Structure 1
Protein backbone atom coordinates (compact mmCIF):
# COMPACT_ATOMS: atom_id res chain seq x y z
CA UNK A 1 0.00 0.00 0.00
CA UNK A 2 1.24 3.45 -0.90
CA UNK A 3 0.09 7.02 -0.28
CA UNK A 4 2.21 9.14 -2.58
CA UNK A 5 2.06 12.85 -3.38
CA UNK A 6 0.27 13.88 -0.18
CA UNK A 7 0.50 17.58 0.70
CA UNK A 8 -0.02 19.39 3.97
CA UNK A 9 0.08 23.18 3.97
CA UNK A 10 -1.01 26.23 5.93
CA UNK A 11 -0.42 29.98 6.12
CA UNK A 12 2.26 30.95 8.63
CA UNK A 13 3.60 34.26 9.94
CA UNK A 14 6.69 35.35 11.86
CA UNK A 15 4.71 37.15 14.55
CA UNK A 16 2.40 34.19 15.23
CA UNK A 17 2.83 30.48 15.89
CA UNK A 18 -0.80 29.62 15.16
CA UNK A 19 -0.23 28.45 11.59
CA UNK A 20 2.95 26.48 12.27
CA UNK A 21 1.43 24.89 15.38
CA UNK A 22 -1.52 23.73 13.28
CA UNK A 23 0.85 22.08 10.81
CA UNK A 24 2.69 20.25 13.57
CA UNK A 25 -0.62 19.13 15.12
CA UNK A 26 -1.70 17.69 11.75
CA UNK A 27 1.63 15.89 11.42
CA UNK A 28 1.12 14.37 14.87
CA UNK A 29 -2.32 13.15 13.84
CA UNK A 30 -0.88 11.63 10.66
CA UNK A 31 1.73 9.81 12.74
CA UNK A 32 -0.95 8.43 15.09
CA UNK A 33 -3.01 7.31 12.10
CA UNK A 34 -0.03 5.56 10.50
CA UNK A 35 0.74 3.73 13.77
CA UNK A 36 -2.88 2.61 14.11
CA UNK A 37 -3.09 1.23 10.56
CA UNK A 38 0.52 -0.03 10.41
CA UNK A 39 1.23 2.06 7.34
CA UNK A 40 4.52 3.73 8.14
CA UNK A 41 5.66 6.99 6.54
CA UNK A 42 9.11 7.05 4.96
CA UNK A 43 10.34 10.25 6.59
CA UNK A 44 13.50 10.32 4.46
CA UNK A 45 11.28 10.92 1.41
CA UNK A 46 9.20 13.62 3.12
CA UNK A 47 10.18 17.22 2.39
CA UNK A 48 9.29 20.59 3.88
CA UNK A 49 9.36 23.74 1.73
CA UNK A 50 9.13 27.24 3.20
CA UNK A 51 7.46 29.81 0.95
CA UNK A 52 7.28 33.59 1.32
CA UNK A 53 9.35 36.31 2.96
CA UNK A 54 7.26 36.33 6.14
CA UNK A 55 7.90 32.67 6.86
CA UNK A 56 9.41 31.79 10.28
CA UNK A 57 10.91 28.64 8.70
CA UNK A 58 10.11 26.47 11.68
CA UNK A 59 11.35 22.89 11.83
CA UNK A 60 8.72 20.13 11.78
CA UNK A 61 8.90 16.53 12.94
CA UNK A 62 7.03 13.38 12.01
CA UNK A 63 7.21 11.22 15.10
CA UNK A 64 10.78 11.49 16.33
CA UNK A 65 12.33 12.35 12.96
CA UNK A 66 12.78 15.89 11.67
CA UNK A 67 11.46 16.52 8.17
CA UNK A 68 14.14 17.64 5.74
CA UNK A 69 13.89 21.19 4.36
CA UNK A 70 14.12 21.38 0.56
CA UNK A 71 14.60 24.29 -1.83
CA UNK A 72 13.33 22.22 -4.74
CA UNK A 73 10.99 19.26 -5.06
CA UNK A 74 9.60 17.28 -7.97
CA UNK A 75 5.82 17.02 -7.75
CA UNK A 76 3.99 14.91 -10.37
CA UNK A 77 6.72 15.61 -12.92
CA UNK A 78 6.92 19.36 -12.23
CA UNK A 79 9.84 20.93 -10.38
CA UNK A 80 8.64 23.34 -7.67
CA UNK A 81 11.09 25.74 -5.99
CA UNK A 82 10.76 27.87 -2.89
CA UNK A 83 10.79 31.08 -4.98
CA UNK A 84 7.85 29.78 -7.10
CA UNK A 85 9.68 30.60 -10.34
CA UNK A 86 9.56 28.14 -13.27
CA UNK A 87 13.27 28.40 -14.13
CA UNK A 88 14.19 24.94 -12.87
CA UNK A 89 11.22 23.34 -14.60
CA UNK A 90 12.11 25.07 -17.89
CA UNK A 91 15.73 23.94 -17.69
CA UNK A 92 14.84 20.34 -16.86
CA UNK A 93 12.20 20.20 -19.61
CA UNK A 94 14.55 21.71 -22.21
CA UNK A 95 17.34 19.28 -21.33
CA UNK A 96 14.99 16.31 -21.59
CA UNK A 97 13.68 17.49 -24.96
CA UNK A 98 17.22 18.10 -26.21
CA UNK A 99 18.15 14.52 -25.25
CA UNK A 100 15.23 13.25 -27.36
CA UNK A 101 16.41 15.37 -30.29
CA UNK A 102 19.94 13.93 -30.03
CA UNK A 103 18.55 10.39 -30.03
CA UNK A 104 16.56 11.15 -33.19
CA UNK A 105 19.66 12.62 -34.84
CA UNK A 106 21.80 9.59 -33.96
CA UNK A 107 19.16 7.10 -35.01
CA UNK A 108 18.42 8.54 -38.47
CA UNK A 109 21.28 9.35 -40.85
CA UNK A 110 18.79 11.15 -43.08
CA UNK A 111 15.25 12.23 -42.31
CA UNK A 112 12.75 14.16 -44.40
CA UNK A 113 10.50 16.97 -43.24
CA UNK A 114 7.35 14.87 -42.79
CA UNK A 115 9.04 12.12 -40.78
CA UNK A 116 10.86 14.59 -38.56
CA UNK A 117 7.61 16.45 -37.88
CA UNK A 118 5.97 13.22 -36.67
CA UNK A 119 8.91 12.35 -34.40
CA UNK A 120 9.17 15.90 -33.07
CA UNK A 121 5.49 16.05 -32.12
CA UNK A 122 5.54 12.58 -30.56
CA UNK A 123 8.81 12.58 -28.61
CA UNK A 124 10.19 16.11 -28.25
CA UNK A 125 7.38 18.62 -27.92
CA UNK A 126 5.57 16.79 -25.08
CA UNK A 127 8.66 17.27 -22.89
CA UNK A 128 8.44 21.08 -23.04
CA UNK A 129 4.64 21.22 -22.94
CA UNK A 130 3.96 18.94 -19.99
CA UNK A 131 1.89 20.77 -17.36
CA UNK A 132 2.78 24.08 -19.00
CA UNK A 133 0.08 25.87 -17.00
CA UNK A 134 2.21 25.40 -13.88
CA UNK A 135 5.61 25.96 -15.46
CA UNK A 136 5.17 28.42 -18.32
CA UNK A 137 8.28 30.62 -18.77
CA UNK A 138 8.02 34.39 -18.51
CA UNK A 139 11.60 35.48 -17.85
CA UNK A 140 13.86 36.08 -20.85
CA UNK A 141 16.41 33.43 -19.92
CA UNK A 142 13.72 30.80 -19.36
CA UNK A 143 12.05 31.60 -22.68
CA UNK A 144 15.41 31.29 -24.47
CA UNK A 145 16.00 27.97 -22.71
CA UNK A 146 12.78 26.57 -24.16
CA UNK A 147 13.16 28.18 -27.58
CA UNK A 148 16.51 26.49 -28.14
CA UNK A 149 14.50 23.33 -28.77
CA UNK A 150 12.86 24.93 -31.79
CA UNK A 151 16.21 26.15 -33.09
CA UNK A 152 17.62 22.65 -32.75
CA UNK A 153 15.32 21.42 -35.52
CA UNK A 154 17.98 22.53 -38.00
CA UNK A 155 19.74 19.30 -37.01
CA UNK A 156 17.57 17.59 -39.60
CA UNK A 157 19.81 17.34 -42.66
CA UNK A 158 17.15 18.34 -45.20
CA UNK A 159 16.39 21.71 -43.55
CA UNK A 160 18.26 24.84 -44.54
CA UNK A 161 19.99 26.65 -41.69
CA UNK A 162 18.26 29.94 -42.47
CA UNK A 163 14.80 28.41 -42.44
CA UNK A 164 12.63 29.26 -39.45
CA UNK A 165 12.36 26.26 -37.12
CA UNK A 166 8.56 26.30 -37.00
CA UNK A 167 8.24 26.29 -40.77
CA UNK A 168 11.05 23.80 -41.20
CA UNK A 169 9.56 21.13 -39.00
CA UNK A 170 5.93 21.85 -39.80
CA UNK A 171 5.31 22.78 -36.17
CA UNK A 172 3.72 25.72 -34.40
CA UNK A 173 5.81 28.09 -32.30
CA UNK A 174 6.01 27.10 -28.66
CA UNK A 175 4.69 30.47 -27.31
CA UNK A 176 1.58 30.05 -29.47
CA UNK A 177 1.01 26.53 -28.22
CA UNK A 178 1.48 27.59 -24.60
CA UNK A 179 -1.17 30.28 -25.02
CA UNK A 180 -3.48 27.83 -26.77
CA UNK A 181 -2.95 25.32 -23.95
CA UNK A 182 -3.84 27.96 -21.36
CA UNK A 183 -7.11 28.78 -23.12
CA UNK A 184 -8.06 25.12 -23.46
CA UNK A 185 -7.49 24.61 -19.75
CA UNK A 186 -9.66 27.62 -18.90
CA UNK A 187 -12.44 26.19 -21.06
CA UNK A 188 -12.22 22.84 -19.26
CA UNK A 189 -12.28 24.43 -15.81
CA UNK A 190 -15.23 26.74 -16.51
CA UNK A 191 -17.24 23.93 -18.06
CA UNK A 192 -16.65 21.45 -15.25
CA UNK A 193 -14.41 19.17 -17.31
CA UNK A 194 -11.63 19.30 -14.70
CA UNK A 195 -11.84 18.36 -11.03
CA UNK A 196 -11.22 22.00 -10.09
CA UNK A 197 -13.75 24.49 -8.80
CA UNK A 198 -13.65 27.59 -11.06
CA UNK A 199 -13.91 29.94 -8.08
CA UNK A 200 -10.61 28.59 -6.74
CA UNK A 201 -8.78 30.19 -9.67
CA UNK A 202 -11.09 32.74 -11.28
CA UNK A 203 -13.73 35.34 -10.51
CA UNK A 204 -16.49 35.77 -13.07
CA UNK A 205 -16.92 39.30 -14.40
CA UNK A 206 -20.32 40.97 -14.07
CA UNK A 207 -19.45 43.53 -16.75
CA UNK A 208 -20.05 41.39 -19.82
CA UNK A 209 -21.57 44.22 -21.91
CA UNK A 210 -23.09 43.64 -25.32
CA UNK A 211 -19.92 42.35 -26.97
CA UNK A 212 -17.96 39.21 -26.35
CA UNK A 213 -19.15 36.21 -24.39
CA UNK A 214 -20.85 35.53 -21.08
CA UNK A 215 -17.84 33.71 -19.56
CA UNK A 216 -15.68 36.79 -19.12
CA UNK A 217 -13.33 36.77 -16.14
CA UNK A 218 -12.54 39.55 -13.71
CA UNK A 219 -8.88 40.55 -13.55
CA UNK A 220 -7.74 41.62 -10.11
CA UNK A 221 -5.47 44.62 -9.66
CA UNK A 222 -2.11 43.55 -8.27
CA UNK A 223 0.46 45.59 -6.41
CA UNK A 224 3.29 46.98 -8.49
CA UNK A 225 6.29 44.71 -8.66
CA UNK A 226 4.33 41.45 -8.38
CA UNK A 227 5.59 40.13 -11.72
CA UNK A 228 5.57 36.60 -10.37
CA UNK A 229 1.88 36.76 -9.47
CA UNK A 230 0.72 38.37 -12.71
CA UNK A 231 2.49 35.64 -14.69
CA UNK A 232 0.61 32.83 -12.93
CA UNK A 233 -1.86 30.88 -15.06
CA UNK A 234 -4.91 32.34 -13.30
CA UNK A 235 -3.78 35.90 -14.16
CA UNK A 236 -1.92 35.79 -17.46
CA UNK A 237 -4.69 34.09 -19.41
CA UNK A 238 -7.55 36.45 -18.51
CA UNK A 239 -7.02 39.19 -21.13
CA UNK A 240 -6.70 36.73 -24.01
CA UNK A 241 -9.70 34.71 -22.81
CA UNK A 242 -11.94 37.75 -22.51
CA UNK A 243 -11.15 38.82 -26.09
CA UNK A 244 -12.41 35.57 -27.62
CA UNK A 245 -15.75 35.81 -29.49
CA UNK A 246 -18.91 34.14 -28.20
CA UNK A 247 -19.06 31.51 -30.95
CA UNK A 248 -15.62 30.22 -29.87
CA UNK A 249 -16.36 30.04 -26.15
CA UNK A 250 -20.00 28.89 -26.24
CA UNK A 251 -19.38 25.32 -27.40
CA UNK A 252 -20.02 22.05 -25.60
CA UNK A 253 -16.89 19.96 -26.01
CA UNK A 254 -13.15 20.48 -25.82
CA UNK A 255 -12.62 19.31 -29.41
CA UNK A 256 -15.18 21.84 -30.62
CA UNK A 257 -13.37 24.58 -28.71
CA UNK A 258 -10.01 23.57 -30.21
CA UNK A 259 -11.47 23.64 -33.71
CA UNK A 260 -13.15 27.00 -33.17
CA UNK A 261 -10.10 28.72 -31.71
CA UNK A 262 -7.84 27.38 -34.47
CA UNK A 263 -10.24 28.61 -37.13
CA UNK A 264 -10.62 32.00 -35.43
CA UNK A 265 -6.87 32.60 -35.14
CA UNK A 266 -6.11 31.42 -38.67
CA UNK A 267 -8.85 33.60 -40.13
CA UNK A 268 -8.44 36.80 -38.12
CA UNK A 269 -4.93 36.54 -36.78
CA UNK A 270 -4.14 37.15 -33.17
CA UNK A 271 -1.07 39.31 -32.66
CA UNK A 272 2.04 37.22 -33.13
CA UNK A 273 -0.10 34.14 -33.77
CA UNK A 274 -1.38 35.39 -37.13
CA UNK A 275 -1.08 32.81 -39.86
CA UNK A 276 0.00 29.98 -37.59
CA UNK A 277 -1.40 26.52 -38.22
CA UNK A 278 -2.45 25.67 -34.68
Structure 2
Protein backbone atom coordinates (compact mmCIF):
# COMPACT_ATOMS: atom_id res chain seq x y z
CA UNK A 1 0.00 0.00 0.00
CA UNK A 2 2.94 2.35 0.55
CA UNK A 3 3.77 2.37 -3.15
CA UNK A 4 0.42 3.87 -4.18
CA UNK A 5 1.10 7.58 -3.40
CA UNK A 6 4.21 7.59 -5.58
CA UNK A 7 2.33 6.07 -8.55
CA UNK A 8 -0.17 8.87 -9.12
CA UNK A 9 0.00 12.65 -9.52
CA UNK A 10 -3.41 13.44 -8.05
CA UNK A 11 -4.54 13.26 -4.42
CA UNK A 12 -5.82 9.81 -3.53
CA UNK A 13 -7.69 8.97 -0.35
CA UNK A 14 -8.33 5.38 0.62
CA UNK A 15 -10.69 4.43 3.42
CA UNK A 16 -12.00 0.89 3.81
CA UNK A 17 -13.48 0.10 0.39
CA UNK A 18 -13.73 3.74 -0.75
CA UNK A 19 -11.20 5.41 -3.02
CA UNK A 20 -11.33 9.09 -3.90
CA UNK A 21 -9.09 10.75 -6.41
CA UNK A 22 -9.23 14.48 -7.01
CA UNK A 23 -7.35 17.55 -8.12
CA UNK A 24 -7.94 20.97 -9.55
CA UNK A 25 -8.68 20.64 -13.27
CA UNK A 26 -7.84 24.12 -14.50
CA UNK A 27 -6.14 23.05 -17.71
CA UNK A 28 -7.46 20.51 -20.24
CA UNK A 29 -4.27 18.43 -20.05
CA UNK A 30 -5.18 17.52 -16.46
CA UNK A 31 -7.93 15.26 -17.80
CA UNK A 32 -5.23 13.22 -19.54
CA UNK A 33 -3.29 13.03 -16.26
CA UNK A 34 -6.47 11.98 -14.46
CA UNK A 35 -7.08 9.22 -16.99
CA UNK A 36 -3.49 8.02 -16.63
CA UNK A 37 -3.83 8.00 -12.84
CA UNK A 38 -7.10 6.08 -13.07
CA UNK A 39 -5.42 3.51 -15.30
CA UNK A 40 -2.55 3.26 -12.78
CA UNK A 41 -4.99 2.86 -9.89
CA UNK A 42 -6.91 0.24 -11.83
CA UNK A 43 -3.69 -1.73 -12.44
CA UNK A 44 -2.75 -1.37 -8.78
CA UNK A 45 -6.15 -2.62 -7.60
CA UNK A 46 -6.00 -5.54 -10.02
CA UNK A 47 -2.61 -6.60 -8.67
CA UNK A 48 -3.94 -6.42 -5.07
CA UNK A 49 -7.24 -8.10 -6.07
CA UNK A 50 -9.21 -5.04 -4.96
CA UNK A 51 -11.51 -4.28 -7.87
CA UNK A 52 -13.38 -1.05 -8.45
CA UNK A 53 -17.12 -1.61 -8.67
CA UNK A 54 -18.17 -0.03 -12.00
CA UNK A 55 -21.64 0.86 -10.71
CA UNK A 56 -20.20 2.83 -7.82
CA UNK A 57 -17.65 4.89 -9.78
CA UNK A 58 -18.69 8.53 -10.18
CA UNK A 59 -17.21 11.77 -11.46
CA UNK A 60 -18.20 14.98 -9.67
CA UNK A 61 -17.11 18.28 -11.19
CA UNK A 62 -16.88 21.17 -8.72
CA UNK A 63 -18.18 23.64 -9.78
CA UNK A 64 -20.46 21.83 -12.23
CA UNK A 65 -19.45 21.89 -15.90
CA UNK A 66 -16.20 23.67 -15.10
CA UNK A 67 -14.19 21.47 -17.47
CA UNK A 68 -16.11 19.12 -19.69
CA UNK A 69 -14.11 15.92 -19.64
CA UNK A 70 -14.76 12.20 -19.65
CA UNK A 71 -12.86 9.41 -17.99
CA UNK A 72 -12.84 5.70 -18.76
CA UNK A 73 -12.39 2.80 -16.39
CA UNK A 74 -12.60 -0.82 -17.50
CA UNK A 75 -13.81 0.30 -20.95
CA UNK A 76 -16.75 2.17 -19.42
CA UNK A 77 -17.12 5.92 -19.96
CA UNK A 78 -17.97 8.05 -16.95
CA UNK A 79 -19.52 11.46 -17.31
CA UNK A 80 -19.95 13.93 -14.51
CA UNK A 81 -22.96 13.53 -12.24
CA UNK A 82 -24.91 16.19 -10.37
CA UNK A 83 -24.39 14.65 -6.91
CA UNK A 84 -22.72 11.76 -5.13
CA UNK A 85 -23.38 9.78 -1.98
CA UNK A 86 -20.38 9.66 0.33
CA UNK A 87 -20.64 7.95 3.71
CA UNK A 88 -24.45 8.14 3.58
CA UNK A 89 -24.37 11.88 2.85
CA UNK A 90 -25.40 13.28 -0.54
CA UNK A 91 -23.16 16.08 -1.79
CA UNK A 92 -23.92 18.08 -4.93
CA UNK A 93 -21.52 19.70 -7.39
CA UNK A 94 -21.71 22.99 -5.49
CA UNK A 95 -20.61 21.12 -2.33
CA UNK A 96 -24.05 21.66 -0.86
CA UNK A 97 -26.34 19.31 1.03
CA UNK A 98 -29.75 20.45 -0.24
CA UNK A 99 -30.60 17.10 -1.88
CA UNK A 100 -29.47 15.24 1.24
CA UNK A 101 -31.61 17.41 3.51
CA UNK A 102 -34.61 17.10 1.19
CA UNK A 103 -34.27 13.28 1.24
CA UNK A 104 -34.11 13.25 5.04
CA UNK A 105 -37.15 15.52 5.38
CA UNK A 106 -39.06 13.42 2.85
CA UNK A 107 -38.25 10.24 4.80
CA UNK A 108 -39.33 11.85 8.08
CA UNK A 109 -42.63 12.94 6.48
CA UNK A 110 -43.23 9.39 5.19
CA UNK A 111 -42.70 7.94 8.67
CA UNK A 112 -45.00 10.59 10.15
CA UNK A 113 -47.69 9.69 7.60
CA UNK A 114 -47.37 6.01 8.53
CA UNK A 115 -47.72 6.88 12.22
CA UNK A 116 -50.80 9.02 11.57
CA UNK A 117 -52.44 6.23 9.51
CA UNK A 118 -51.51 3.49 11.97
CA UNK A 119 -52.49 5.31 15.15
CA UNK A 120 -55.55 7.49 14.52
CA UNK A 121 -56.14 8.10 18.26
CA UNK A 122 -52.80 9.25 19.69
CA UNK A 123 -52.30 11.08 22.91
CA UNK A 124 -49.51 13.68 23.17
CA UNK A 125 -47.16 11.45 25.20
CA UNK A 126 -47.33 8.56 22.74
CA UNK A 127 -46.87 10.90 19.77
CA UNK A 128 -43.75 12.39 21.38
CA UNK A 129 -42.39 8.91 22.07
CA UNK A 130 -43.00 7.81 18.46
CA UNK A 131 -41.49 11.05 17.15
CA UNK A 132 -38.33 10.64 19.23
CA UNK A 133 -37.87 7.01 18.27
CA UNK A 134 -38.96 6.94 14.60
CA UNK A 135 -38.78 10.44 13.10
CA UNK A 136 -36.05 12.36 14.89
CA UNK A 137 -33.27 9.86 13.94
CA UNK A 138 -33.91 10.70 10.27
CA UNK A 139 -33.59 14.42 10.96
CA UNK A 140 -30.43 14.14 13.03
TM category, shorter: 0.7 to 0.9
Structure number with higher helix proportion = 1
**Shift of residue 48 of structure 1?**
0.5
CA contact under 8 A between 1:94 and 1:128: conserved in structure 2? yes
How many angstroms apart in 2 are the aligned matches of 1:126 and 1:7?
28
Greater Rg by CA: 1
The answer to which structure has the higher strand fraction is 2
Is residue 6 from structure 1 mapped to residue 22 from structure 2 by the alignment? no
Question: What is the correspondence of 1:190-201 to structure 2 with a 5 Å cutoff?
Answer: none
Matched residue of 1:7: which SS?
A: strand
Greater RCO (Cα-Cα under 8 Å, separation 6 or more)? 2
Residue equivalent to 1:79? 90
Aligned twin of 1:121: 132
Does the 8 Å contact 1:5/1:76 carry over to 2? Answer: no
Match in the other structure for 1:17: 29
TM-score, normalised with respect to structure 1: 0.41
Change (3 A) 1:56 1:76: same
Q: Is the 8 A contact 2:64 2:94 kept in 1?
A: no
Q: In structure 1, what is the Cα distance between the partners aligned to 2:65 and 2:116?
A: 49
Structure 1 runs (4+) deviating above 3 angstroms are none
Q: 1:5 and 1:116 mapped to 2: Cα distance?
A: 40
TM value normalised by structure 2: 0.75
Aligned residues: 125
Structure 1: segments with no counterpart, 5+ residues: 130-278
* RMSD, matched Cα: 2.2
* SS of match in other structure, 1:55: coil
In 1, the alpha carbon distance for the partners of 2:28 and 2:52 equals: 29
Q: Answer yes or no: is 1:56 the counterpart of 2:61.
A: no
